[in-house]
Structure 1
Amino acid sequence: MDFTLSETQEVFKSTANKFFKEKCTITALKEAEKSAKNYSPALYKEIADLGFVGLIIPEEYGGAGGTFMDLAIVVEEAGYANLPTPFLSTIAYGAIPLLQSGTEEQKQKLLPRIAEGEFIFTGAFSEPQSHYDYRLIKSTLSDKGSTYSLNGKKLFVPFAESADYLLTLAKSSNGDVRLLLVKGGQPDILITSIPAIGPERVYEVNYRDVPLTSEDVLGNGGDGWSQTNRVIQMATALECIEMVGVLRRAVEVTNEYVKERRQFNRPIGSYQSVQHRLSDMLTVVEGGRLAAYQAMWRLAEGLPADRELAIAKAWLSKEGQNVLTGAHQLHGGMGIDIDYPLQFCFRRFKRFQLSMGTAPIHLKKIASSLERKAVATKV
């Protein structure tokens, strides 16, 4: 496992860093948060034109043919800039599921338009009784002969109002689960905004006898749980990497601030207690980066990554809170100013902290993996 960046990856990193910094100014972030769509369609098209949206899509489908590690580098820079677009959502719930499980017809139809920035995807999985354990879902897919009917309620769906497709999990009449490519904007889909702390709005989505056909079922039906698990794993890994970018920004902003803020005729960064606090914060970020990239690498190589993902998400969610707390304490009241980047970092982090399973959920997974290992060793 070598995380040294190739020459091409260095170009990806520098290009993404420069582009996102130029486009994601504080003014741009504030305008995106207040806008009707919650993001700038023009900016999203620019990202697609750079090849970032289609980075992992093979050239035969109009993409750049890059690797998952190439994507991880760009996603970290997007997190650093607090990028307010459905970039990650479309890749995690559109490009990746289609590449992993889609039929050739679905790939030919959807992947080129994803790469061009024409289609936006989002994921609709959580329900009131099943935020993280999707075995408890109650959304149903009823067989109507040549068609299907979808009913159910989904929570915390980002970009639901703008999405061309909502990747949705539902149970069929025989108890099997299916991943569905539900077209957005249908009259039988009721979308309601949910108040949230994050800069991106999330929505409640109600499906009321939404008509579907076999073409709307991801792949050939297959093993829905296996498909869902692969989607969730990759989405979790990408969110962890974006969290690394957010936390890295918080540390760098704080480091610059303590060099300039003076107290008792000297920069507060010259005090040992401040230096120790920043050192702890940086250690958390670097540890989280290694954990997140290891999980992504294992997924890209087709290796088991359950424990690695749990470690990355638990560490970043739990210890990342201490990074943001330390950043705000070292800034004092200035940290919460609406015209300062730290409040964007904090609010975006809180969204990721609660998404894809909280720290206690993943700590339990780690404990379970240790128990299984102990039993196997005894045997």
Structure 2
Amino acid sequence: MDFDLNEEQIMLQDSARKFFRKEVHKDLIRGLMHDEKGYSPEIWKKMAELGWMGLPFGEENGGYGGTFLDLAVILEEIGRSALSSPYFSTVVVCGLLLQDCASREMKQEYIPKIVAGNCIASLALIGKNGDYSRDAVGVEAESSGNNYKLNGSAFFVPYAHVADNIICASKTPQGITLFMLDAEAAGIEAIRLKTITGEAHDCIVNLKNVEVASAEVVGEVGKGWDYIETLLPKVSVGLSCESVGGMSEVMEFTIDHLNQRRQFGRPLSAFQAVQHYCSDMAIMTESSRQTAYYAAWLISEGLECKKDAAIAKAWCGEAYKNLTKIAHQVTGGIGFTEEYDLHLFSKNAKKIEVLFGNGAFHRNIVADEMEL
């Protein structure tokens, strides 16, 4: 077992970190919080030109044949930058779902568009109550000749208002079925959900008599939830890697602040209580890195990882949130201001904690895998 980065991955990490530090400054991120699109088309285009959209996909579909560990490196750097973009929903969620479950024809139609940066995609999965379960899916599909008619609503669909395609989970008599939708199709309405902090990247997607051809079924009818469960470990580990990047960045700039800020004639970092807080941040960051990258290595090697992915998501999601709380505590008043960068990461930490299942959700998976 060796999940240390190889030479190529270290080069990828270095180039990605340099790119984000040069191109993604924090004023840009603050602007995106209130931007109607919620992402930067210029940054999106540059990321595509660097080949990051095609990293995890096979060469037969226009990708670059990278491993999940390669993808993990990019996700960590995205987390470190706090960039808001449709990368995760497009590449990790929808892209990997298509690669693992779609027909050859569907892969060849959509994955090259993702690789080229010409397609933003999103998954419409969650019903009104916010649960991740097949019973909570809020869209129903009724067979109509060779087509289907979709009616209902999906909540918290990221970037649906700018998406080109939406993969929609729907209830059918055979079970949950996934449909590939044109986001501009008649009967689809995407309503941005505004938060108390101003961001509006997630949407409610309402569907009213949306007609979909049977050829747009992703995989097989009735097997949609099986596909979601197959995808979940990859999504969980991807979010864990983003958490590791965010934790690393917060710890670094917090320690820099504590070394520079002086009280009672010495730096704040000289006080033992503060040092212990910093030690806690280091423990959270490094333990999260180990759990996340071990699970990423298992995925790359094609090994069973359901339990380890759930462990990573439960641990990293909560550790990221708790680390930002410590950072707020030790930085004092400045840590709560809009001008200071910490709040950008605190918001991301809370979102990642609950996205695709919170700690309790993933602990249940671990318990099930332990046959408890």
Instruction: Name the TM tier (shorter chain).
Output: over 0.9
Aligned to 2:62: 62
Alpha-carbon deviations, 1:124-181, whole Å to 9, x = none?
A: 1110145222333242111101111111211111101011111211111x24211111
Alpha carbons of structure 1 residues 360 and 186: separation in structure 2 relative to 1, 3 Å: same
> Which deviates more from structure 2 when the two are superposed, residues 181-190 or residues 322-331?
181-190
In structure 1, the gaps of 5 or more residues are 373-379
Give the secondary-structure state (helix, strand or coil) at the position aligned to 2:370. helix
Identical aligned pairs, as a percentage?
32
Is the 8 Å Cα contact of residues 161 and 185 (structure 1) preserved in structure 2? no
Alpha-carbon shift at residue 319 of structure 1 (Å): 2.9
Task: Tell me which residue corresponds to 2:78.
Answer: 78
User: Can you give the 5+ residue segments of structure 2 that lack an aligned partner in the other structure?
Assistant: none
Q: What amino acid sits opposite 2:97 in the alignment? A: P
Q: Is the 8 A contact 2:57 2:65 kept in 1?
A: yes
Secondary structure at the residue paired with 1:179?
A: strand
The 2-side partners of 1:371 and 1:101 are apart by 27
**Where do residues 182-221 of structure 1 align in structure 2 (5 Å cutoff)?**
182-196=181-195, 199=199, 201-221=201-221
Deviates more, 1:9-18 or 1:291-300: 291-300
Q: TM-score, normalised by structure 1?
A: 0.93
- Show CA shifts across 1:74-120 (max 9, x none): 11001000112111111123221111112121121111111110001
Confirm or deny: 8 A CA contact 1:197 1:351 kept in the other structure: no
Partner of 2:101: 101
Correspondence for 1:278? 278
C-alpha separation in 1, matches of 2:59 and 2:362:
36
- 1:268 corresponds to: 268
Matching residue's letter, 2:326: G
Farther off after superposition, 346-355 or 307-316: 307-316
Q: Aligned residue for 1:376?
A: none
Tell me which amino acid in the other structure corresponds to 1:329.
Q
Q: Distance in 1 between matches of 2:130 and 2:318?
A: 22
Aligned-partner Cα distance in 1 for 2:285–2:118: 34
Aligned residue type for 2:19: F
CA distance in 1, matches of 2:352, 2:266: 37
AA paired with 1:258?
L
Matched residue of 2:349: which SS?
Answer: helix
Q: How far 1:274 sits from its partner (Å)?
A: 1.0
* CA positional deviation for 1:197: 5.6
Q: Tell me which residue corresponds to 2:140.
A: 140
User: What SS does structure 2 have at the residue aligned with 1:166?
Assistant: strand
Counterpart contact for 1:69–1:297, Cα < 8 Å: yes
Check the 8 A contact 2:194/2:200 in 1, yes or no: no
Shift of 1:371: 4.2
**Counterparts of 1:338 and 1:205 in 2: how far apart (Å)?**
31
Residue 178 in 1 paired to residue 177 in 2? yes
CA distance in 2, matches of 1:74, 1:230: 22
Query: Does residue 248 of structure 1 match 2:239?
Result: no
Are the counterparts in 2 of residues 125 and 134 from structure 1 also a CA contact under 8 Å? no
Provide the rounded CA distance (Å) in 2 between the counterparts of 1:221 and 1:51: 33
The alignment of Structure 1 onto Structure 2 pairs a total of residues equal to 371
The equivalent of 1:375 in structure 2 is: none
Cα 1:111–1:369, aligned 2, differ >3 Å: closer, same or farther?
A: closer
* DSSP 3-state at the match of 1:20: helix
* Matched-pair contact (CA < 8 Å) for 1:125–1:168: yes
| Residue identity opposite 2:124 in structure 1 | A
Provide the alpha-carbon RMSD of the alignment: 1.7
- Give the C-alpha shift of residue 20 in structure 1: 1.0
Mapped contact 1:129–1:137 kept (Cα < 8 A): no
Alignment map for 1:291-310 (pairs within 5 Å): 291-310=291-310
Cα distance in 1 for residues equivalent to 2:325 and 2:93: 31
Q: Matched residues in 2 for 1:96 and 1:368: separation?
A: 25
CA offset digits 1:44-103 (Å, max 9, x no partner): 010000000111122232222211110100110010001121111111232211111121
Q: Secondary structure at the match of 2:52?
A: coil
